[in-house]
Amino acid sequence: MHIDRFDNGDVLGVKDLQDLRKLSMLRSQIDSKGIAKIMNNEFKTVGPDDRVVDALHIMKETGAQDIPVVEGNEYVGSVGYGTLLKKKSVLLDSKVRTVMTGAPSVDGNAKITDVAELMISNNARQIPVLDKNKRIKGVISRSALIEVAAEIKAFRDIKVWEIMSATVETVKESDVLDAALDIMRGLDIRTVPVTDSAGAVVGIVGMKEIIDHNWRRKNRQTVGDLSGKQEQSMLLVESLCATAPKTIPWDETTGKAAEMMLESCISTLPVVENGKLVGILTQYDIIEMMAACKEREMMFVQISGLDDDDKYYSSAIDELIKYEMGKAAKVQRPQSLTMHISKYNTAGSRHKYSINARLILDGGMLAAKEVGWDLQKTVEDILKKLVTMVMDMKSVKLDQKKRIV
Protein backbone atom coordinates (compact mmCIF):
# COMPACT_ATOMS: atom_id res chain seq x y z
CA MET A 1 0.00 0.00 0.00
CA HIS A 2 3.01 2.26 -0.03
CA ILE A 3 5.13 3.95 -2.66
CA ASP A 4 8.35 5.78 -2.05
CA ARG A 5 7.57 8.95 -4.03
CA PHE A 6 4.76 11.19 -5.12
CA ASP A 7 4.47 12.01 -8.83
CA ASN A 8 6.12 15.35 -8.06
CA GLY A 9 9.20 13.57 -6.72
CA ASP A 10 8.84 14.36 -3.01
CA VAL A 11 10.31 11.53 -0.95
CA LEU A 12 7.90 9.96 1.50
CA GLY A 13 9.47 9.79 4.95
CA VAL A 14 9.20 11.33 8.38
CA LYS A 15 11.74 14.01 9.24
CA ASP A 16 14.86 13.01 11.09
CA LEU A 17 13.68 11.85 14.52
CA GLN A 18 16.39 14.04 16.03
CA ASP A 19 14.36 16.97 14.71
CA LEU A 20 11.33 15.57 16.57
CA ARG A 21 13.39 15.44 19.80
CA LYS A 22 15.45 12.53 20.92
CA LEU A 23 13.78 9.16 20.75
CA SER A 24 14.20 8.59 24.50
CA MET A 25 12.38 11.85 25.26
CA LEU A 26 9.56 10.96 22.90
CA ARG A 27 9.26 7.50 24.46
CA SER A 28 9.13 9.11 27.90
CA GLN A 29 6.30 11.41 26.82
CA ILE A 30 4.27 8.47 25.51
CA ASP A 31 4.78 6.21 28.52
CA SER A 32 4.35 8.94 31.14
CA LYS A 33 0.56 8.61 30.93
CA GLY A 34 0.50 5.05 32.25
CA ILE A 35 -1.94 2.45 31.01
CA ALA A 36 -4.21 2.80 34.07
CA LYS A 37 -5.13 6.30 32.86
CA ILE A 38 -6.05 5.27 29.33
CA MET A 39 -7.74 1.90 29.79
CA ASN A 40 -11.52 1.63 29.73
CA ASN A 41 -12.97 0.00 32.85
CA GLU A 42 -16.42 -0.44 31.31
CA PHE A 43 -16.45 -3.23 28.75
CA LYS A 44 -18.64 -6.09 27.58
CA THR A 45 -17.54 -9.73 27.33
CA VAL A 46 -18.92 -13.01 26.02
CA GLY A 47 -18.40 -16.60 27.13
CA PRO A 48 -17.07 -19.47 24.99
CA ASP A 49 -20.52 -21.10 24.99
CA ASP A 50 -22.38 -17.96 23.97
CA ARG A 51 -23.52 -17.77 20.35
CA VAL A 52 -21.84 -15.79 17.60
CA VAL A 53 -25.06 -13.82 17.23
CA ASP A 54 -24.70 -12.71 20.88
CA ALA A 55 -21.19 -11.41 20.20
CA LEU A 56 -22.41 -9.59 17.08
CA HIS A 57 -25.17 -7.96 19.08
CA ILE A 58 -22.59 -6.57 21.52
CA MET A 59 -20.38 -5.33 18.65
CA LYS A 60 -23.34 -3.57 17.07
CA GLU A 61 -24.39 -2.09 20.41
CA THR A 62 -20.97 -0.87 21.54
CA GLY A 63 -19.23 -0.21 18.22
CA ALA A 64 -16.32 -2.44 19.31
CA GLN A 65 -14.72 -4.61 16.64
CA ASP A 66 -13.34 -7.15 19.11
CA ILE A 67 -14.99 -8.62 22.20
CA PRO A 68 -13.04 -10.36 25.01
CA VAL A 69 -14.03 -13.96 25.73
CA VAL A 70 -14.15 -14.85 29.42
CA GLU A 71 -14.60 -18.32 30.91
CA GLY A 72 -15.52 -18.10 34.57
CA ASN A 73 -13.53 -15.03 35.55
CA GLU A 74 -10.54 -15.80 33.33
CA TYR A 75 -9.72 -14.18 30.00
CA VAL A 76 -9.33 -16.88 27.34
CA GLY A 77 -9.39 -15.11 23.96
CA SER A 78 -11.16 -12.73 21.63
CA VAL A 79 -13.81 -12.74 18.90
CA GLY A 80 -14.33 -9.99 16.34
CA TYR A 81 -14.97 -8.83 12.82
CA GLY A 82 -11.50 -9.94 11.77
CA THR A 83 -12.21 -13.50 12.87
CA LEU A 84 -15.45 -13.58 10.92
CA LEU A 85 -13.77 -12.04 7.87
CA LYS A 86 -11.17 -14.81 7.75
CA LYS A 87 -13.67 -17.59 8.43
CA LYS A 88 -15.77 -16.36 5.47
CA SER A 89 -18.95 -18.13 6.56
CA VAL A 90 -20.03 -18.77 10.15
CA LEU A 91 -23.37 -19.98 11.47
CA LEU A 92 -24.91 -17.33 13.71
CA ASP A 93 -25.91 -20.03 16.20
CA SER A 94 -22.32 -21.37 16.39
CA LYS A 95 -20.65 -21.18 19.77
CA VAL A 96 -18.10 -18.45 20.25
CA ARG A 97 -15.42 -21.03 21.14
CA THR A 98 -15.49 -22.24 17.50
CA VAL A 99 -14.39 -18.84 16.16
CA MET A 100 -12.51 -17.19 19.00
CA THR A 101 -8.77 -16.69 18.72
CA GLY A 102 -5.94 -16.33 21.18
CA ALA A 103 -5.22 -12.66 21.70
CA PRO A 104 -2.43 -10.67 23.38
CA SER A 105 -2.86 -9.10 26.80
CA VAL A 106 -0.77 -7.04 29.21
CA ASP A 107 -0.54 -6.64 32.96
CA GLY A 108 -0.78 -3.41 34.90
CA ASN A 109 2.97 -2.81 34.71
CA ALA A 110 3.08 -2.61 30.91
CA LYS A 111 4.02 0.62 29.17
CA ILE A 112 1.99 2.33 26.48
CA THR A 113 4.71 1.66 23.92
CA ASP A 114 4.44 -2.05 24.82
CA VAL A 115 0.71 -1.92 24.08
CA ALA A 116 1.34 -0.10 20.79
CA GLU A 117 3.79 -2.78 19.67
CA LEU A 118 1.34 -5.58 20.59
CA MET A 119 -1.40 -3.90 18.57
CA ILE A 120 0.85 -3.61 15.53
CA SER A 121 2.33 -7.11 15.73
CA ASN A 122 -1.10 -8.72 16.20
CA ASN A 123 -3.20 -6.23 14.19
CA ALA A 124 -5.39 -6.03 17.31
CA ARG A 125 -8.15 -3.46 17.85
CA GLN A 126 -7.89 -3.55 21.63
CA ILE A 127 -5.67 -5.09 24.32
CA PRO A 128 -7.05 -6.39 27.64
CA VAL A 129 -5.24 -5.48 30.86
CA LEU A 130 -5.19 -8.47 33.23
CA ASP A 131 -4.57 -8.86 36.95
CA LYS A 132 -2.45 -11.68 38.38
CA ASN A 133 -5.46 -14.04 38.25
CA LYS A 134 -5.99 -13.41 34.51
CA ARG A 135 -9.12 -11.39 35.17
CA ILE A 136 -9.72 -8.35 32.97
CA LYS A 137 -9.21 -5.04 34.76
CA GLY A 138 -9.85 -2.99 31.65
CA VAL A 139 -9.25 -2.75 27.89
CA ILE A 140 -7.08 -0.38 25.86
CA SER A 141 -8.45 0.51 22.45
CA ARG A 142 -6.72 1.94 19.40
CA SER A 143 -8.65 5.16 19.98
CA ALA A 144 -7.13 5.45 23.46
CA LEU A 145 -3.65 5.35 21.92
CA ILE A 146 -4.68 7.90 19.29
CA GLU A 147 -5.71 10.23 22.12
CA VAL A 148 -2.21 9.87 23.60
CA ALA A 149 -0.58 10.59 20.23
CA ALA A 150 -2.79 13.64 19.74
CA GLU A 151 -1.38 15.17 22.93
CA ILE A 152 2.26 14.86 21.86
CA LYS A 153 3.53 17.75 19.76
CA ALA A 154 6.13 15.65 17.94
CA PHE A 155 3.35 13.44 16.58
CA ARG A 156 0.82 16.24 16.01
CA ASP A 157 3.20 18.12 13.70
CA ILE A 158 3.93 15.19 11.38
CA LYS A 159 2.32 15.69 7.97
CA VAL A 160 -0.24 13.17 6.78
CA TRP A 161 1.76 12.37 3.63
CA GLU A 162 4.72 11.33 5.76
CA ILE A 163 3.01 8.30 7.32
CA MET A 164 0.03 7.55 5.08
CA SER A 165 -0.19 4.48 2.86
CA ALA A 166 0.26 5.96 -0.58
CA THR A 167 -0.94 3.11 -2.78
CA VAL A 168 -4.52 2.19 -1.97
CA GLU A 169 -6.69 -0.70 -3.10
CA THR A 170 -10.13 0.66 -4.06
CA VAL A 171 -13.43 -0.50 -5.50
CA LYS A 172 -16.07 1.17 -7.69
CA GLU A 173 -19.72 1.55 -6.75
CA SER A 174 -20.59 -0.81 -9.60
CA ASP A 175 -18.24 -3.56 -8.37
CA VAL A 176 -19.70 -6.62 -6.69
CA LEU A 177 -19.17 -6.88 -2.96
CA ASP A 178 -16.86 -9.86 -3.43
CA ALA A 179 -14.21 -7.46 -4.76
CA ALA A 180 -14.19 -5.48 -1.50
CA LEU A 181 -14.20 -8.63 0.63
CA ASP A 182 -11.25 -10.07 -1.29
CA ILE A 183 -9.25 -6.88 -0.63
CA MET A 184 -10.12 -6.93 3.07
CA ARG A 185 -9.08 -10.55 3.42
CA GLY A 186 -5.92 -10.15 1.36
CA LEU A 187 -4.66 -7.07 3.23
CA ASP A 188 -6.21 -7.90 6.64
CA ILE A 189 -8.04 -4.56 6.72
CA ARG A 190 -11.63 -3.63 7.60
CA THR A 191 -12.45 -0.78 5.20
CA VAL A 192 -11.99 -0.07 1.49
CA PRO A 193 -12.46 3.34 -0.22
CA VAL A 194 -14.95 3.61 -3.07
CA THR A 195 -13.90 5.84 -5.98
CA ASP A 196 -15.43 7.06 -9.22
CA SER A 197 -13.84 6.95 -12.69
CA ALA A 198 -12.00 10.24 -12.01
CA GLY A 199 -10.36 8.91 -8.84
CA ALA A 200 -12.51 10.93 -6.43
CA VAL A 201 -13.64 9.32 -3.17
CA VAL A 202 -17.41 8.80 -3.25
CA GLY A 203 -17.80 6.36 -0.38
CA ILE A 204 -16.25 3.80 1.89
CA VAL A 205 -17.31 0.22 2.54
CA GLY A 206 -16.35 -1.66 5.66
CA MET A 207 -16.83 -4.92 7.48
CA LYS A 208 -19.28 -3.14 9.78
CA GLU A 209 -21.59 -2.29 6.88
CA ILE A 210 -21.38 -5.86 5.61
CA ILE A 211 -22.18 -7.34 9.02
CA ASP A 212 -25.05 -4.86 9.50
CA HIS A 213 -26.48 -5.82 6.11
CA ASN A 214 -26.35 -9.47 7.04
CA TRP A 215 -27.91 -8.65 10.42
CA ARG A 216 -30.94 -7.06 8.75
CA ARG A 217 -31.60 -9.95 6.37
CA LYS A 218 -34.65 -12.07 7.08
CA ASN A 219 -34.08 -15.68 8.06
CA ARG A 220 -30.36 -14.96 8.50
CA GLN A 221 -28.32 -18.01 9.44
CA THR A 222 -24.73 -17.17 8.54
CA VAL A 223 -22.39 -14.20 8.80
CA GLY A 224 -19.13 -13.34 7.07
CA ASP A 225 -19.91 -14.77 3.64
CA LEU A 226 -23.25 -12.96 3.51
CA SER A 227 -25.69 -15.31 1.84
CA GLY A 228 -23.97 -17.49 -0.71
CA LYS A 229 -22.51 -16.93 -4.16
CA GLN A 230 -25.78 -16.27 -5.96
CA GLU A 231 -26.62 -13.14 -3.96
CA GLN A 232 -23.00 -12.05 -3.74
CA SER A 233 -22.71 -12.06 -7.52
CA MET A 234 -25.58 -9.54 -7.68
CA LEU A 235 -24.96 -7.39 -4.59
CA LEU A 236 -23.11 -4.20 -5.58
CA VAL A 237 -20.82 -2.04 -3.44
CA GLU A 238 -23.13 0.96 -3.89
CA SER A 239 -25.87 -0.85 -1.98
CA LEU A 240 -23.75 -1.00 1.20
CA CYS A 241 -21.09 1.72 1.09
CA ALA A 242 -21.30 4.77 3.32
CA THR A 243 -21.46 7.89 1.15
CA ALA A 244 -19.81 11.29 1.76
CA PRO A 245 -16.96 9.82 3.87
CA LYS A 246 -14.59 12.03 5.84
CA THR A 247 -11.37 12.77 3.93
CA ILE A 248 -8.20 14.70 4.75
CA PRO A 249 -5.79 16.73 2.56
CA TRP A 250 -2.38 15.15 2.02
CA ASP A 251 -0.56 18.17 3.51
CA GLU A 252 -2.66 18.34 6.70
CA THR A 253 -1.12 17.37 10.04
CA THR A 254 -1.41 14.04 11.81
CA GLY A 255 -2.76 15.95 14.80
CA LYS A 256 -5.73 17.12 12.74
CA ALA A 257 -6.24 13.57 11.45
CA ALA A 258 -6.27 12.22 15.01
CA GLU A 259 -8.87 14.82 16.01
CA MET A 260 -11.10 13.83 13.09
CA MET A 261 -10.80 10.13 13.94
CA LEU A 262 -11.71 10.72 17.57
CA GLU A 263 -14.55 13.19 16.90
CA SER A 264 -16.18 11.03 14.22
CA CYS A 265 -15.35 7.63 15.82
CA ILE A 266 -13.63 6.41 12.66
CA SER A 267 -10.37 4.55 12.13
CA THR A 268 -9.69 5.33 8.47
CA LEU A 269 -9.27 8.57 6.51
CA PRO A 270 -8.88 8.63 2.71
CA VAL A 271 -6.18 11.17 1.82
CA VAL A 272 -6.90 13.52 -1.09
CA GLU A 273 -5.10 16.06 -3.25
CA ASN A 274 -7.12 18.30 -5.57
CA GLY A 275 -10.13 16.09 -4.98
CA LYS A 276 -8.41 12.85 -5.96
CA LEU A 277 -7.44 9.93 -3.73
CA VAL A 278 -3.66 9.81 -3.15
CA GLY A 279 -3.43 7.65 -0.05
CA ILE A 280 -5.06 6.45 3.11
CA LEU A 281 -4.31 7.10 6.78
CA THR A 282 -5.44 4.76 9.55
CA GLN A 283 -5.12 4.53 13.29
CA TYR A 284 -2.69 1.67 12.61
CA ASP A 285 -0.28 4.10 10.87
CA ILE A 286 -0.21 6.47 13.85
CA ILE A 287 0.14 3.64 16.39
CA GLU A 288 3.00 2.18 14.34
CA MET A 289 4.92 5.41 14.99
CA MET A 290 4.33 4.99 18.72
CA ALA A 291 5.47 1.35 18.60
CA ALA A 292 8.69 2.43 16.88
CA CYS A 293 9.57 4.46 19.98
CA LYS A 294 9.64 1.39 22.22
CA GLU A 295 13.03 0.74 23.79
CA ARG A 296 14.55 -2.44 22.37
CA GLU A 297 17.96 -3.94 21.83
CA MET A 298 17.10 -5.61 18.53
CA MET A 299 15.17 -4.44 15.49
CA PHE A 300 11.46 -5.24 15.64
CA VAL A 301 10.32 -7.24 12.60
CA GLN A 302 6.67 -7.99 11.78
CA ILE A 303 5.71 -10.04 8.71
CA SER A 304 2.03 -10.66 8.05
CA GLY A 305 0.09 -12.36 5.29
CA LEU A 306 2.20 -15.51 4.84
CA ASP A 307 -0.12 -18.48 4.36
CA ASP A 308 0.70 -22.08 5.23
CA ASP A 309 1.93 -22.85 1.69
CA ASP A 310 4.58 -20.13 1.95
CA LYS A 311 5.77 -20.67 5.53
CA TYR A 312 8.81 -22.62 4.33
CA TYR A 313 10.15 -19.32 2.97
CA SER A 314 10.40 -17.92 6.51
CA SER A 315 14.03 -18.88 7.15
CA ALA A 316 15.18 -17.50 3.79
CA ILE A 317 13.25 -14.26 4.41
CA ASP A 318 14.85 -13.91 7.85
CA GLU A 319 18.32 -14.25 6.32
CA LEU A 320 17.51 -11.67 3.63
CA ILE A 321 16.32 -9.22 6.29
CA LYS A 322 19.46 -9.69 8.40
CA TYR A 323 21.72 -9.20 5.38
CA GLU A 324 20.00 -6.16 3.86
CA MET A 325 19.27 -4.43 7.18
CA GLY A 326 22.89 -4.96 8.11
CA LYS A 327 23.81 -2.79 5.13
CA ALA A 328 21.23 -0.17 6.12
CA ALA A 329 22.55 -0.12 9.72
CA LYS A 330 25.88 1.22 8.49
CA VAL A 331 24.05 4.42 7.57
CA GLN A 332 21.01 4.60 9.86
CA ARG A 333 20.06 2.23 12.70
CA PRO A 334 16.84 0.33 11.81
CA GLN A 335 14.23 0.40 14.60
CA SER A 336 11.43 -1.65 13.04
CA LEU A 337 10.46 -3.30 9.77
CA THR A 338 6.90 -4.31 8.92
CA MET A 339 5.94 -6.20 5.77
CA HIS A 340 2.52 -7.31 4.63
CA ILE A 341 2.41 -9.99 1.93
CA SER A 342 -0.65 -10.38 -0.28
CA LYS A 343 -1.07 -13.36 -2.59
CA TYR A 344 -3.24 -13.13 -5.68
CA ASN A 345 -4.62 -15.86 -7.90
CA THR A 346 -4.05 -15.26 -11.59
CA ALA A 347 -4.82 -17.16 -14.76
CA GLY A 348 -3.79 -20.79 -14.41
CA SER A 349 -2.28 -22.04 -11.17
CA ARG A 350 0.33 -19.29 -10.69
CA HIS A 351 0.25 -16.84 -7.81
CA LYS A 352 1.47 -13.26 -7.77
CA TYR A 353 2.77 -11.55 -4.64
CA SER A 354 2.35 -7.93 -3.58
CA ILE A 355 4.48 -6.75 -0.65
CA ASN A 356 4.10 -3.50 1.26
CA ALA A 357 6.89 -2.57 3.65
CA ARG A 358 7.62 0.19 6.10
CA LEU A 359 11.05 0.77 7.66
CA ILE A 360 11.50 3.02 10.67
CA LEU A 361 15.04 4.12 11.48
CA ASP A 362 16.75 6.42 13.93
CA GLY A 363 16.61 8.97 11.12
CA GLY A 364 13.06 8.67 9.80
CA MET A 365 10.55 6.44 8.06
CA LEU A 366 10.57 4.90 4.58
CA ALA A 367 7.95 2.88 2.73
CA ALA A 368 7.93 0.82 -0.46
CA LYS A 369 5.86 -1.61 -2.51
CA GLU A 370 7.00 -4.46 -4.75
CA VAL A 371 5.11 -6.97 -6.90
CA GLY A 372 6.48 -10.23 -8.33
CA TRP A 373 5.88 -13.88 -9.17
CA ASP A 374 8.53 -15.33 -6.86
CA LEU A 375 8.07 -14.59 -3.15
CA GLN A 376 11.72 -14.82 -2.13
CA LYS A 377 12.86 -12.68 -5.06
CA THR A 378 10.12 -10.11 -4.37
CA VAL A 379 11.16 -9.87 -0.71
CA GLU A 380 14.78 -9.40 -1.77
CA ASP A 381 13.79 -6.69 -4.26
CA ILE A 382 11.78 -4.69 -1.73
CA LEU A 383 14.55 -4.91 0.87
CA LYS A 384 17.11 -3.71 -1.68
CA LYS A 385 14.77 -0.85 -2.58
CA LEU A 386 14.56 0.19 1.08
CA VAL A 387 18.34 0.03 1.48
CA THR A 388 18.75 2.22 -1.61
CA MET A 389 16.32 4.72 -0.10
CA VAL A 390 18.38 4.74 3.12
CA MET A 391 21.49 5.52 1.08
CA ASP A 392 19.58 8.27 -0.73
CA MET A 393 18.66 9.79 2.64
CA LYS A 394 22.33 9.94 3.54
CA SER A 395 23.18 11.62 0.22
CA VAL A 396 20.44 14.23 0.71
CA LYS A 397 21.71 15.07 4.20
CA LEU A 398 25.29 15.38 2.95
CA ASP A 399 24.16 17.74 0.18
CA GLN A 400 22.25 19.82 2.71
CA LYS A 401 25.32 20.09 4.95
CA LYS A 402 27.45 21.17 1.98
CA ARG A 403 24.96 23.92 1.07
CA ILE A 404 24.94 25.15 4.68
CA VAL A 405 28.75 25.31 4.73
| In the chain, domain spans | 38-145, 296-404
Q: Is the pLDDT of residue 11 over 60?
A: no
Asked whether the whole model's pTM tops 0.85, one would answer no
> Can you give the pLDDT at residue 234?
67
| CATH topology match: 38-145 vs 296-404 | no
Is residue 272 classed as helix, strand or coil in its secondary structure? strand
Segment 293-313 mean pLDDT = 73
- Its CATH architecture, for the domain 38-145, is Roll (3.10)
Helices in 217-336 by DSSP H: which ranges?
A: 229-232, 254-264, 283-291, 314-329
Average pLDDT of the residues in 297-325:
79
Of residues 399 and 265, more confidently modeled: 265
pLDDT at 366 over 50: yes
- The average pLDDT across 384-397 equals 78
> What is the model's pLDDT at position 23?
65
DSSP letters spanning 326-375:
HHHHTTS-EEEEEEEEEEEE-STT-EEEEEEEEEEETTEEEEEEEEESSH
- Condensed to tens digits (0 to 9), the pLDDT of residues 185-220 reads 777 778 899 998 888 899 898 877 777 666 555 445
Q: Kindly state the average pLDDT of the residues 375-403.
A: 75
What would the CATH number be for the domain defined by 296-404?
Answer: 3.30.160.100
3-state secondary structure of 159: strand
- Residue 57 vs residue 7, higher pLDDT: 57
Indicate the residue type of 217.
R
The pLDDT of 307-332, averaged and rounded, is 82
Between 300 and 253, where is the model more confident?
Answer: 253
Q: How far apart are CA 79 and CA 52, in angstroms?
A: 9
